[in-house]
Amino acid sequence: MKDSLCNAVQSGIVAWDCKDEEEVMLILCGLFLAGNNPMQAEECSHAGLNCNYFCRTCNVGGTKEYKASEEGYNSIFKTTNSIQHQFEAAMKLGAMTKVQSAISSTGVRDSASASILESLVELGKKLYKQGPGLPATSERKITVALEKEFDKLL
């Protein structure tokens, strides 16, 4: 999907305008501008209606002056760090509980990364679960396998 979007941004998309009965070229630069539509808000984990804030859940954002201050600038990265912490938790034994705890403690739940988190948690459950009589797989080997899967999912 990423490659498809990159190609569309570079070369545009040719479409048919049925009203004027001619080919038109769609240019995707509008995807990268600030906006307030539901789909863009969903993809960006944005509140949508509260345009001064990046996220209603974690209250990242504020006035222009606040965001330009040292405290405001640092507050922007708290959300990114919270999401990164969730991915780190997904690579450990008992990931489901740890991820839910991370979400609950920070109030940050990124809908764009939720499916990746779920995939990692499910794979971790399968890798940690061993059948009777089978030797346990080392936690390091499981972590390496989960990291490889994470790279594939990105």
Phi and psi at residue 77, in whole multiples of 5°? Answer: -85, -5
Chain length of the chain: 154
CA angle 63–83–106, rounded 5-degree value: 70
Q: What is the DSSP string of 4-38?
A: HHHHHHHH-EEEEETTTTEEEEE-GGGGGS----H
53 DSSP β-pair partners? 61
Question: pLDDT tens digits for 35-67?
Answer: 556 776 666 665 554 456 665 555 667 787 887
Rounded to whole angstroms, the Cα distance separating 43 from 112 reads 6
Task: Output 136 or 52, whichever has higher pLDDT.
Answer: 136
Task: Output 55 or 147, whichever has higher pLDDT.
Answer: 147
Question: pLDDT tens digits for 74-119?
Answer: 777 777 888 899 999 999 989 999 999 988 888 888 888 889 999 9
Rounded to whole angstroms, the Cα distance separating 56 from 26 reads 32
Rounded to whole angstroms, the Cα distance separating 111 from 25 reads 31
